[in-house]
Chain A
Amino acid sequence: MKEKLTNIWRKLTWSWSPRSEREASESVIKNFWLHWFPSRISLRSLGWSYSLWLGTIAACLFIILAITGLLLLYFYIPSVRSAYWSIKDLENVVVFGSLLRAQHRWAAELMVAVVFIHLMRVFFTASYRDQRVWNWYIGIGLLVITLFLSFTGYILPWDQLAYWALTIGMSIASEIPFLGKSISFLLAGGNVLGQNSLLRFFVLHNFFLPAMLLFLFALHMWRIRKDGGLTSMDRLIRETQLKETPVSPTKSYSLLGVTEGTTIQVTTTQVLDERNSVRSSPHLLRRIAVVFLITTIFTLGLALLSPAPLEEPANPSVTPIPAKAPWYFLWLQELIAITTIKIGKITISGGLIGGILVPGFLFLLAILWPFLDRSPKEAIGVWFHKKRRIQNSVFILICVVIIVLIIIGLYLRGPYWKFFWPWQPWPEIPAQF
Chain B
Amino acid sequence: MKENERKITRRFFFGVLGKTSIIVALLAEAIGAIKAFIPKVLYEPPSKFKIGKPEDIPEGITFLPQHRLYIFRNNDDFHAISAVCTHLKCIVDWKPDQREFYCPCHGSIFSQAGINLTGPAPKPLPWYPLSLAPDGNLVIDSSKQVKPDYKYSL
Q: Are B87 and A164 in contact (CB under 8 A)?
A: no
Chain A residue nearest to B65 (CB atoms) is A317
List residues of chain A with CB within 8 A of the CB of B44. 190-192, 194
Q: Are B37 and A323 in contact (CB under 8 A)?
A: no
Near A by CB (< 8 A), chain B positions 61-110 give: 63, 65-66, 68, 87-91, 93, 102-107, 109
Q: Are B90 and A347 in contact (CB under 8 A)?
A: no
Q: Is B38 in the interface zone, CB < 8 Å from A? A: yes
* The one of A186, A194, A322 that contacts B37, using a Cβ cutoff of 8 Å: A186
Q: Are A416 and B88 in contact (CB under 8 A)?
A: no
Q: Is A415 in the interface zone, CB < 8 Å from B? A: yes
Chain B residue nearest to A340 (CB atoms) is B120
| Least CB distance, A212 to chain B, in whole angstroms | 17
Specify which of B63, B91, B123 lies most central, judged by the most chain A CB atoms within 10 Å of its CB: B91
Q: Are A340 and B65 in contact (CB under 8 A)?
A: no
Stretch at the interface among A262-270, A287-295, A330-338: A330-338
Q: Measured between alpha carbons, how far is A350 from B107 in the docked complex, in Å?
A: 12
Q: Are A337 and B120 in contact (CB under 8 A)?
A: yes
List residues of chain A with CB within 8 A of the CB of B122. 340, 347-350
Q: Is B136 in the interface zone, CB < 8 Å from A? A: no
| Least CB distance, A122 to chain B, in whole angstroms | 33
Q: Are B120 and A339 in contact (CB under 8 A)?
A: yes
Q: Is B125 in the interface zone, CB < 8 Å from A? A: no
List residues of chain B with CB within 8 A of the CB of A194. 43-44
Q: Measured between alpha carbons, how far is A167 from B109 in the docked complex, in Å?
A: 19
List residues of chain B with CB within 8 A of the CB of A318. 65, 91
A416/B68 contact (C-beta < 8 A), A186-B37, A192-B45, A196-B39 known: no
List residues of chain A with CB within 8 A of the CB of B38. 185-186
Chain B residue nearest to A185 (CB atoms) is B38
| Least CB distance, A338 to chain B, in whole angstroms | 7
Q: Is B42 in the interface zone, CB < 8 Å from A? A: yes
Q: Is B119 in the interface zone, CB < 8 Å from A? A: yes
Q: Are A418 and B106 in contact (CB under 8 A)?
A: no
List residues of chain B with CB within 8 A of the CB of A416. 93, 102-104, 107, 109
Chain B residue nearest to A188 (CB atoms) is B39
Q: Are B104 and A321 in contact (CB under 8 A)?
A: yes
| Least CB distance, B124 to chain A, in whole angstroms | 11
Q: Are A417 and B107 in contact (CB under 8 A)?
A: yes
Q: Are A168 and B105 in contact (CB under 8 A)?
A: yes
List residues of chain A with CB within 8 A of the CB of B91. 316-319
Q: Are A167 and B66 in contact (CB under 8 A)?
A: no
List residues of chain B with CB within 8 A of the CB of A340. 87, 119-122
Chain A interface size, as a band, is 35 or more
Residue pairs across A and B with CB atoms within 8 Å: the count is 99
Q: Measured between alpha carbons, how far is A322 from B65 in the docked complex, in Å?
A: 18
Q: Is A141 in the interface zone, CB < 8 Å from B? A: no
Q: Are B120 and A349 in contact (CB under 8 A)?
A: yes
List residues of chain A with CB within 8 A of the CB of B68. 316-317
Q: Are B65 and A164 in contact (CB under 8 A)?
A: no
A190/B39 contact (C-beta < 8 A), A168-B89, A171-B89 known: yes
Chain A residue nearest to B41 (CB atoms) is A190
Q: Measured between alpha carbons, how far is A339 from B122 in the docked complex, in Å?
A: 11
Near A by CB (< 8 A), chain B positions 20-64 give: 37-39, 42-45, 63
Q: Is A351 in the interface zone, CB < 8 Å from B? A: yes
Specify which of A319, A336, A347 lies most central, judged by the most chain B CB atoms within 10 Å of its CB: A319
List residues of chain A with CB within 8 A of the CB of B45. 192
Q: Are B104 and A349 in contact (CB under 8 A)?
A: no
Q: Measured between alpha carbons, how far is A385 from B78 in the docked complex, in Å?
A: 70
Q: Is A97 in the interface zone, CB < 8 Å from B? A: no
A167/B103 contact (C-beta < 8 A), A317-B66, A340-B121 known: no
| Least CB distance, A170 to chain B, in whole angstroms | 8
Q: Is A189 in the interface zone, CB < 8 Å from B? A: yes
A321/B107 contact (C-beta < 8 A), A172-B88, A191-B42 known: no
List residues of chain B with CB within 8 A of the CB of A185. 38
List residues of chain A with CB within 8 A of the CB of B43. 194
Q: Measured between alpha carbons, how far is A417 from B103 in the docked complex, in Å?
A: 8
List residues of chain B with CB within 8 A of the CB of A321. 93, 104
Closest 6 CB pairs of A and B: A417-B107, A317-B65, A337-B106, A340-B120, A171-B88, A350-B120
Q: 5 A-B Cβ contacts within 8 A?
A: A171-B87, A172-B88, A194-B43, A347-B122, A416-B93
Known A-B contacts: A168-B88, A338-B120. Give 15 more (CB < 8 A).
A186-B37, A190-B39, A191-B42, A194-B43, A316-B91, A317-B91, A318-B91, A337-B106, A337-B119, A337-B120, A340-B87, A349-B120, A416-B93, A416-B104, A417-B105
